[in-house]
Amino acid sequence: KPTVAIVGRPNVGKSTIFNRIVGERIAIVEDIPGVTRDRIYGEGEWLNRMFHLIDTGGITFDEEPLLEQMRQQAEIAIEEADIILLLVNGRDGVTAADEDVSNLLYRSNKPVVIGVNKVDNLEMQPQIYDFYQLGLGEPFPISGAHGRGIGDMLDEVFSYFPAKDDGDLEPDTIHFAVIGRPNVGKSSLVNAILGEERVIVSEDAGTTRDAVDTGFTKDEQKYRIVDTAGMRKRGKVYEKTEKYSVLRAQRALERANVVLVVIDGEEGIIEQDKKIAGYAHESGRGVIIVVNKWDAISKDERTMDAFTDQIRKGFAFLSYAPIAFVSAKTNQRVQKILPVVQRISENHQMHVPTHVVNDVILDAVSMNPTPTSGTKRLRINYATQVAVGPPTFVVFVNDPELLHFSYRRFLENSLREAFAFEGTPIKVIARKKN
């Protein structure tokens, strides 16, 4: 999917436009300079094409002067996006900061579309001509407040979309992402995995996508570690700020089947770990929790159990994920990771024949009768698996409203007990059919 990044000075209306395009009015939009924005990453759709949208204004660099922050945001946009949407304020005219950022964008050779925001009525239209002087082509008048002009602007953005590609997951290859907050040891872990015996790394350059992933083969299984760019080189621009590292993690998840959520064993679980683990869970990928730096803590026979408890409590939603205690530094148990990745990838792709699914569901129902509402009882007619990656089941019922959260959870657990779904989320969806 193409990626579009929004850049622009504070308070030009980036998050309003972001929310208009993404279609969910989650961020708080106020006409106050520097208002806090939380959502910086979303999905938009235009002319039947989905694309990613990044609001770089949400990535702030504390204590940097404004101009420097904008430069860094523009750099991120240049690094992450296929197309850049530069937003300016039609009421202010061209400012020095607009010019500065335009220069950076101009040199990047990425396509740039200029949206002149706050052009709320036709009389204001002539104000857009000023913005030709930025040298980036035709400025598009828009009004985030009224939703005007956004379609025309998106038409222009769309015209730069690359030709459709049919996904980038190769068959027979396990794509896995290594995510976690800065300094938990992701890079060290990737290097330890790649440095294992009998791992054959094939750094095939080619498209830009391949260049940021690392392909390798072990025991005749092909793997690809997604988004190793920032990890394997020094500098790690991608971890300049917490927000940016979360953004990178979210994007990596999209191209993975399995994800390693790395925790720092020395520091334990903090709030940011939970956030990242939450994204991993929501992505529907297979998940392994890796506790790294296990060499660095003093242990007795209860330490591992205590840490396991802490993880199970902190990441209750990841109860299906196995936990590996490793040290990237001493290589302790690093060689156990790939077999688990392989197993979980298989579970994630598992397909159960319909008659077997039905046997399990019928058994479950006989153990624990279906819920009722008033005089109406949930009746399950049959169930079938409709998708893999993650395994997704549809149960056909008399009334989907009667399948409450707790009973759905019970059916999920019954399916889990019957099959080897370790490491993968599963989904149970109710559909009406008599």
Applying CB under 6 A, among 182, 268, 278, 371 the residue interacting with ligand GDP is: 182
Q: How far is the CB of 290 from ligand GDP (least distance, A)?
A: 10
What are the distances in angstroms from CA 295 to CA 192, 265, 298, 329, 332?
Answer: 14, 9, 8, 8, 8
**89 lies in the binding site for ligand GDP (CB under 6 A):** no
Longest dimension (CA), the chain: 76
Beta strand 3-8 pairing with 49-55 = parallel
Residue 228, judged by CB atoms within 10 A of its CB (0-12, 13-18, 19+), counts as buried
Distance of CA 119 to the CA centre of its chain: 33
CA distance linking residue 384 with residue 396, whole number of Å: 9
Q: How far is the CB of 134 from ligand GDP (least distance, A)?
A: 37
**184 lies in the binding site for ligand GDP (CB under 6 A):** yes
User: E strands of 107-242, at which residues?
Assistant: 112-117, 139-141, 173-179, 200-202, 214-218, 221-226
Give the interface segment with ligand GDP, choosing from 161-169, 211-219, 326-334, 350-358 (CB under 6 A): 326-334
Applying CB under 6 A, among 8, 185, 390, 423 the residue interacting with ligand GDP is: 185
Q: Is 12 annotated as a binding-site member? A: yes
| Pattern 241-280, ligand GDP, x by CB under 6 A | ----------------------------------------
Give the interface segment with ligand GDP, choosing from 24-32, 269-277, 293-301, 377-385 (CB under 6 A): 293-301
Applying CB under 6 A, among 329, 404, 408, 427 the residue interacting with ligand GDP is: 329
Query: Half-sphere exposure (CA, 13 Å, Cβ side) for 34?
Result: 7
391: preceding bond cis by omega (within 30 degrees): no
CA distance linking residue 366 with residue 388, whole number of Å: 27
CB count, 10 Å around CB of 8?
27
Nearer to ligand GDP, 185 or 425 (CB): 185
Nearer to ligand GDP, 112 or 184 (CB): 184
Applying CB under 6 A, among 7, 78, 231, 323 the residue interacting with ligand GDP is: 231
**328 lies in the binding site for ligand GDP (CB under 6 A):** yes
Nearer to ligand GDP, 76 or 153 (CB): 76
CA distance linking residue 124 with residue 63, whole number of Å: 36
Number of chain positions touching ligand GDP (CB under 6 A):
16
Q: Is residue 115 within 8 Å of 107, Cβ to Cβ?
A: no
Q: How far is the CB of 260 from ligand GDP (least distance, A)?
A: 11
Q: Is 55 annotated as a binding-site member? A: yes
Q: Is 265 annotated as a binding-site member? A: no
CA distance linking residue 152 with residue 379, whole number of Å: 50
State whether residue 2 is helix, strand or coil.
coil
Q: How far is the CB of 73 from ligand GDP (least distance, A)?
A: 22
Residues numbered 338 to 397 that lie near ligand GDP (CB under 6 A) are: none
Nearer to ligand GDP, 130 or 267 (CB): 267
What residue numbers does the annotated binding site for GTP cover? 8-15, 55-59, 117-120, 180-187, 227-231, 292-295
Q: Which residues are near ligand GDP by CB under 6 A?
A: 180, 182-188, 231, 292-293, 295-296, 327-329
